[in-house]
């Protein structure tokens, strides 16, 4: 028995960035399926232009159970993050994707939503998101055809649509919304504004605050008191022009004297 897992495939363009990481730590742990001893591997990976994440994988040689999960190693950010990617070419399919256990994947063209905590956090690729859905549905099709032929036929039609998306016969959109703010979709050219992708930040809803454990389930607050709508509007990017107009501030050591000072950075362009 093999459990469908989240892909940990990394794009070849950035594979070199992952080669110098330390060897994974291996520990014996009980298999939840057959209760024999399996092996859990834990490794810390630094993802370029994002941050450090912890990847854990489990494999049982007795029953074949395998699973992978990801821990960001970071606390929830001040704001939630929403990333919208227009998938137009093979390079888009090969982008690295990081999703925490609170993140929601959505593909509007398929009316497909993968809700939070339906699986653990994932380190995968854009293509891997679809491949995981295809694998999960495909593995149960033989049994489904015996129990519900009508539903099985609908799933076959859905899988055919997935194949068209994977081959880019149909262009599509991947949305990733994560209230913890710990999500990421790679920019193939990180020194330029991404023409296919928009990242925005938003103030979490009450339900999202409860999901993260910041509020009790029975706690009621007035969002109008908690959220300044003007501040919220200022923190959201609505278009590519908003991204280009954003001035980023971060603290760092002075190259001359070593004292901590503020650095400001803004995307710009030249006519030549």
pLDDT per residue, tens digit, the chain (272 aa), is 434 444 444 444 444 444 445 678 888 989 888 988 999 988 877 777 777 777 888 899 988 888 777 776 677 888 899 999 999 999 999 999 999 888 999 999 999 998 876 557 888 899 999 999 999 899 888 999 999 999 999 999 999 999 999 999 999 999 999 998 889 999 988 888 899 999 999 888 888 888 888 877 776 665 545 555 445 555 555 555 666 666 766 677 777 887 777 787 777 766 55
> The pTM is what?
0.67
Only one residue has tokens 């979490």, namely 204
How would you classify residue 210: left for phi > 0, otherwise alpha for psi between -120 and 50, otherwise beta? alpha
Rounded Cα distance, 102 and 272, in Å: 44
- One DSSP character per residue, 103-119 reads -EEEEGGGTEEE-TTSS
pLDDT tens digit string along 88-122?
999 999 999 999 888 999 999 999 998 876 557 88
Rounded Cα distance, 136 and 114, in Å: 12
Check: CB of residue 59 under 8 Å from CB of residue 65.
yes
Which fold would CATH assign to domain 12-177?
Jelly Rolls (2.60.120)
* Residue partners of 25: CB distance under 8 A and separation at least 6: 41, 42, 43
Q: Compute the CA torsion angle 110, 79, 243, 114 (nearest 10 deg).
A: -10
């Amino acid at each position: 028995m093999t459990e469908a897992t989240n892909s940990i495939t990394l794009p070849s363009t950035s594979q070199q960035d992952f080669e110098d990481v330390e060897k994974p730590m291996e520990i014996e742990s009980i298999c939840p399926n057959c209760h024999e001893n399996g092996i859990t591997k834990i490794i810390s990976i630094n993802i370029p232009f994002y941050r450090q994440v912890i990847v854990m994988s489990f494999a049982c040689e007795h029953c074949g159970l395998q699973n992978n999960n990801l821990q960001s190693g970071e606390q929830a950010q001040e704001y939630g993050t929403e990333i919208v990617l227009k998938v137009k070419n093979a390079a888009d399919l090969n982008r690295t994707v990081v999703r925490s256990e609170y993140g929601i994947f959505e593909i509007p063209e398929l009316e497909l939503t993968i809700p939070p905590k339906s699986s653990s956090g994932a380190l995968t690729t854009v293509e891997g998101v679809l491949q995981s859905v295809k694998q999960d549905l495909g593995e149960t099709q033989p049994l489904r055809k015996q129990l519900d032929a009508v539903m099985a036929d609908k799933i076959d039609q859905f899988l055919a649509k997935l194949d068209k998306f994977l081959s880019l016969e149909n262009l599509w959109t991947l949305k990733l919304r994560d209230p913890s703010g710990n999500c990421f979709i790679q920019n193939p050219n990180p020194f330029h504004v991404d023409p296919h992708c928009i990242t925005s930040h938003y103030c979490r809803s009450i339900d999202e605050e409860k999901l993260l454990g910041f509020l009790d389930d029975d706690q009621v607050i007035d969002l109008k008191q908690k959220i300044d709508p003007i501040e919220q509007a200022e923190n959201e990017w609505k278009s590519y022009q908003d991204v280009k107009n954003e001035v980023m501030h971060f603290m760092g050591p002075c190259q001359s004297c070593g004292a901590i000072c503020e650095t400001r950075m803004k995307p710009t362009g030249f006519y030549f």
